[in-house]
Amino acid sequence: MRRFLRGALGSAGGGCVLRWLGVKVCRRSVLVVVLVWLVSWLFLNSLVFVHRNMFSDFCTDDKSKQILQRVCNDYHQGVLTGDLCEDLCVSGQVEYKRCLYYENGKKVMAANWRGVPVVLKSKLENFSSYEALALLDYQDAAGGAGGEEELSPLDVIFYATLEIKNSLGLETGTNLTLPRLWGQRLKEKERTYSRAELASLWALLQQEEYTFLRVLQDLTHHVAKILGSCGHFYAVEFLAAGHAWDQHIFSLEELSLNPSPSPWSRRERRLTARDMVPRVALSFLEMVEHFENDFAHRLHLCDIKPENFAIRKDLTVVAIDVDMAFFEPKMRDILEQNCSSDNDCNFFDCVSKCDKIKNRCGSNRKNSNLQVICEKIFRSWFSPTLLGEKAGFPLQVELQRAVQECGEMDSGEDTGRRRAVRQQLRGLLMELILEDAGSQEVQERKRHVHTALNF
């Protein structure tokens, strides 16, 4: 027994030496395994943590439907209203399609409204999250005291205008006419406004994007059309947005929410894919000129990238993200900062020069919308790699040069030269469109002949 034990111990002890070596080896690999496991565990956990925090707002159909349901509950309770509510909440004429984007509370979803593809948007998901109209409380108090004081349409216009000017950063005293349609609607109905109507209007006006679009609706077709609203949600036309991962082109196929391949749509795609780029580019030029000259104040786009633009079926370019679009007065405010070098005077795509004596950035923007568009969008569109075999064509070479020149234009350049660059670019694009149309026709005719022969 003892011997056996000793033997066992001995063997165990002997094994220990051996095993000790083994264990050492083993320990190292165990250590490695444990470390790897720990690191990946930490990594996965932090990933989950980050994911939960950043994407807590993850876009799901369930959530979107719940949000719309809450809008409708509020509508039925008379808290909010709008021209879209009846269709959304009663007759079921607004068909939810899919969720597009949630971030920082902002909700964007796609839907069909009476067969028209629309995008429903709101900066915050709940109506109650918007600031209430203090005027309504005042009215309540007045009502409680017995005297029913009513809000006149003029008051509404006054407050709405104030809010718009505030959020667009236009100084008071400038002539900002209220959107025509809006003013008319308020004036023609000599009636007072219901609580729900005022509260809804107020919630909409607190969304800078809405105010912005609303103000520009009648002035330009280069912003998304607002089609209707219900409470804090407003519907804009559905557009084909550019993609960060596909710099080159906007996909028109996206424009139909239920892709149904038909010979007609395939034909249309074939026709557009070829000469879309110069046409869209031309619309970009048109938009730039519009934003620069046709409003009371120049409009600056400070975040220029494909995702922030979209196109309609007719290939007009639309600015969809207007969070970084500023009228001249606000632009000046933003640019005027303390600085020690020019680098301190960059506000995204809007830059000015540092005055080294005053240590203050100039309030004049140094670059222009067109310059940034040439640099960040056109350059890749007309780059030799993208054009492929076409890149060597004289027209294409000229175009590349014009785009290059446009992207490098400095504010020091005199206006005459700027206009010349712009004109040249436009001319070349038009030529390109004509050329493409011509070759298309030839091909079309060839195909016709072909089928005729086959018959």
Ligand X SMILES: Nc1ncnc2c1ncn2[C@@H]1O[C@H](COP(=O)(O)OP(=O)(O)O)[C@@H](O)[C@H]1O
Structural tokens at position 400: 């590349």
Interaction of residue 60 with ligand NAG, rule CB under 6 A: no
Interaction of residue 120 with ligand X, rule CB under 6 A: no
Task: Looking at residues 322 to 351 of the shown chain, list those that interact with ligand X (rule: CB under 6 A).
Answer: 323
Q: Please list, residue by residue across 243-267, b when 16 or more beta carbons sit within 10 angstroms of its beta carbon and e when fewer do.
A: eeeebebbebebbeeeeeeeeeeee
Which region, judged by CB under 6 A, interacts with ligand X, from 154-162, 236-244, 417-425, 432-440?
Answer: 236-244
Interaction of residue 129 with ligand NAG, rule CB under 6 A: yes
Interaction of residue 224 with ligand X, rule CB under 6 A: yes
Single residue of 113, 159, 234, 238 touching ligand X by CB under 6 A: 238
Out of ligand NAG, ligand X, none, what residue 174 binds, judged by CB under 5 to 8 A for its kind, is ligand NAG
Q: How far is the CB of 354 from ligand NAG (least distance, A)?
A: 12
- Could you give the CA distance from residue 100 to residue 121 in angstroms, rounded to a whole number? 10
Which region, judged by CB under 6 A, interacts with ligand NAG, from 34-42, 71-79, 124-132, 212-220?
Answer: 124-132
Single residue of 72, 95, 100, 126 touching ligand NAG by CB under 6 A: 126
Amino acid identity of 238? F
Interaction of residue 108 with ligand X, rule CB under 6 A: yes
Within 8 A by CB and 6+ apart from 199, the residues are 79, 80, 127, 132, 133, 136
Binding marks (x or -) toward ligand NAG, 167..196, rule CB under 6 A? Answer: ------xxx---------------------
Q: How far is the CB of 127 from ligand X (least distance, A)?
A: 19
- Could you give the CA distance from residue 344 to residue 359 in angstroms, rounded to a whole number? 10
Q: How far is the CB of 292 from ligand X (least distance, A)?
A: 22
In this structure, what are the phi and psi dihedrals at residue 274, rounded to the nearest 5 degrees? -70, -50
Chain-centre distance for alpha carbon 79: 29
Within 8 A by CB and 6+ apart from 184, the residues are none
Interaction of residue 408 with ligand X, rule CB under 6 A: no
Out of ligand X, ligand NAG, none, what residue 338 binds, judged by CB under 5 to 8 A for its kind, is ligand NAG
* Per-residue three-class SS string for 3-29: HHHHHHHHHHHHHHHHHHHHHHHHHHH
Interaction of residue 239 with ligand X, rule CB under 6 A: yes
- Could you give the CA distance from residue 250 to residue 312 in angstroms, rounded to a whole number? 10
Q: How far is the CB of 63 from ligand NAG (least distance, A)?
A: 10
Interaction of residue 310 with ligand X, rule CB under 6 A: yes
Q: How many CB atoms neighbour CB 336 within 10 A?
A: 15
Q: How far is the CB of 224 from ligand X (least distance, A)?
A: 5
Q: Please list, residue by residue across 426-452, b when 16 or more beta carbons sit within 10 angstroms of its beta carbon and e when fewer do.
A: bebbeebbeebeeeeeeeeeeeeeeee
Interaction site with ligand X (CB under 6 A): 100-101, 103, 106, 108, 119, 224, 236, 238-239, 241, 307, 310, 320-321, 323
Interaction site with ligand NAG (CB under 6 A): 105, 125-126, 129, 173-175, 338, 359
